[in-house]
Amino acid sequence: MKKLIYCLAFILFISISNSYAQIGHTAGVGVPTGACVTGITSYINVTTGDYYDCVASAWHLTTSSVGNMTTIPSTSPTWTGIHIFSPAARSSGTAPYFTLNIPADTLQTAATESIGIKTVTATRQWATSGTVALQRENFFAGPTYSSQNASTTFTDAFTFYITPPIAGTNAIFTRGHTLAIVDATSAASSITGGFIVATTLGTAATSVGIGGGNINAGGIITGNTLVSGVSTGTAPFTVSSTTQVSNLNVSQLVGATWVAPGTIGSTTPSTGAFTSLNAGTGKWNVNTGGLPTQSNNLTLAGQGFTLILGLTSQKAETTTADANVLTVTPPAAVGTYKVCTAISVASATSGIISWTLSWTDSNGNAQSNIAQQIFQMGTAAPNTTFTTSAAGNYYGCSMIDINNGAANIVVKWVGGGTTSAKMSAIVERLN
């Protein structure tokens, strides 16, 4: 009997000394108030279904029907098992579904990392062998945004958005990074983890920092400008393909410019040595001996050529003299030249067929309107002048030496009588 009396007295003492403390599991309407006993007191709100535990002598919302934790304990709870948070749909408001307020810690351990949020990894074992087509350890599904009535514009929409760390008072960053990825894939592989970095919100990205690492892409990298800051002595890029790159415009070739090119098939700068030279189909081809084989769509014998400095083809001539059938100004150098004419007479009445040549010879003497020999085809003897009243064909050639005075070489049609003819003339430099 005494023991029973003592027990009743002890329970009564507790009730009197802690009149607000609740013992065991209770139920009620609304949020629990008053003191509670840690570890042995619990409470359920019969209206909402919210369940409360007593932690550190204070009520703690353990399970909520609407997904909110209205009271956060000051201790460090440990969760086990699978937890799903499903907040009720809202018809108004802008508050986040989940907010984690990082505490303003002070006096953290010196020279020691203090991690804010950490995921501790573990080995996860699959039941049997097979191929897992896609495995994502952390998956953030992109939300769908819509508008009830009129259209709503989202200038910048992000599924995952982070900002860089801020160096506060007395903090010095050697390097500040917004995101770092430690990838286990070999840098030599074209299939490697990647990330995208946007710079200023609302503006075009100007740069992406990769540090001292490499970029390995299995596809096409597209951009506007490729800039290399590597010093001279190191190639700014390398390629394996020998396929021609269209529209590639460069100012230097093997360290030289096109204005002052380097060696081209030889060992002497600004000179070229070619096995063959082709300036376009049929335009100008040279064989391995340096002799032309084709020019202006004409096939040549490949035995060399003379320099044609002037040519007049089938110029109409009449009775009147023509003092400029062909005029050529030679270079200011001594040389040997060949001048030829061809005259085709259509009709004539006492027509005078003759041509003259003017030049300055190798002794510096001016030779003016010197009559030249002319041959009439079908007639044995040449002459300097033919008088004819019939059609016919005539030709003549002369070899001359000139000095370095660069005086003009002039071919003239003499004319006379009544004549209708066509005259061609050519000046060639032989050396």
Q: Is residue 390 part of a domain?
A: yes
Instruction: Give CA–CA dist 279/165, Å, rounded.
Output: 63
pLDDT tops 60 at residue 209: no
Q: Which residues pair with 386 in a beta bridge?
A: 353
Of 70 and 398, the structure prediction assigns the larger pLDDT to 398
The last residue of a domain, from among 44, 63, 82: 63
Instruction: Give CA–CA dist 25/258, Å, rounded.
Output: 94
Average pLDDT score over the chain: 79
DSSP three-state, residue 390: coil
Q: Is residue 276 part of a domain?
A: no
How confident is the model over 407-423, as pLDDT tens digits?
A: 999 999 999 999 999 99
- Give 201-231 as a DSSP string: TTS-------TT-----SS----S-----PP
pLDDT band at 195 (very low <50, low <70, confident <90, very high): very low
- Give 28-90 as a DSSP string: ESSS--S-EEEEEEEEEETTT--EEEEETTEEEEEE-SSS------SS-----S-----PPP-
How confident is the model over 264-302, as pLDDT tens digits?
A: 776 776 677 766 666 666 677 777 777 778 777 788 777
Total domains, the chain: 2
Return the percentage of the chain with pLDDT > 70, whole number: 77
Q: Is residue 30 part of a domain?
A: yes
Amino acid at 197: V
Which residue segment(s) compose the domain that 394 sits in?
307-429
DSSP three-state, residue 200: coil
Q: What are phi and psi of 2, to 5 degrees?
A: -60, -40
Instruction: Give CA–CA dist 324/358, Å, rounded.
Output: 11
Instruction: Give CA–CA dist 167/162, Å, rounded.
Output: 16
CATH number at residue 398: 2.60.120
Instruction: Give CA–CA dist 311/425, Å, rounded.
Output: 6
Of 150 and 76, the structure prediction assigns the larger pLDDT to 150
Q: What are phi and psi of 11, to 5 degrees?
A: -65, -40
Question: Do 346 and 421 meet the contact criterion of CB atoms below 8 Å apart?
Answer: yes
Among 289, 333, 278, smallest CA distance to 307 is for: 333
Q: Is residue 299 part of a domain?
A: no
pLDDT tops 90 at residue 377: yes
- Give 105-124 as a DSSP string: --SPPTTS---SS-PPP---
Q: What are phi and psi of 183, to 5 degrees?
A: -105, 135
Instruction: Give CA–CA dist 274/263, Å, rounded.
Output: 11
Instruction: Give CA–CA dist 387/348, Å, rounded.
Output: 9
DSSP three-state, residue 327: strand
Among 239, 274, 269, 275, smallest CA distance to 254 is for: 269
Q: Is residue 271 part of a domain?
A: no
pLDDT tops 60 at residue 167: yes
Name the one residue in this structure whose structure tokens are 């001359």. Answer: 400
Q: Is residue 424 part of a domain?
A: yes
Model pLDDT, residue 318: 95
Q: Is 142 exposed, middle or buried (0-12, 13-18, 19+ CB in 10 A)?
A: exposed
Q: How far is CA 346 from CA 216, 349, 389, 391, in A?
A: 80, 11, 10, 5
Instruction: Give CA–CA dist 274/111, Å, rounded.
Output: 69
Question: Do 284 and 294 meet the contact criterion of CB atoms below 8 Å apart?
Answer: yes
Model pLDDT, residue 9: 41
How confident is the model over 123-160, as pLDDT tens digits?
A: 989 888 899 988 888 888 888 989 988 889 998 888 88
Instruction: Give CA–CA dist 42/90, Å, rounded.
Output: 29
Count of C-beta atoms within a 10 Å radius of residue 427: 24
Provide the 8-state DSSP code for 329.
Answer: -
Lowest mean pLDDT across 249-258, 339-348, 362-371, 392-401: 249-258
Name the one residue in this structure whose structure tokens are 């809202």. Answer: 90
Q: How far is CA 407 from CA 216, 307, 327, 362, 365, in A?
A: 69, 18, 10, 11, 11
DSSP three-state, residue 425: strand
Q: Is residue 174 part of a domain?
A: no
Does the reported pTM lie above 0.75? no
Q: Is residue 148 part of a domain?
A: no
Return left, alpha or beta for 39; rule: phi > 0 is left, psi -120 to 50 is alpha, else beta: left
Among 379, 314, 321, smallest CA distance to 345 is for: 314
> Average pLDDT, stretch 211-228?
75
Give me the numbers of helices (H) and strands (E) for the chain, helices first please.
1, 21
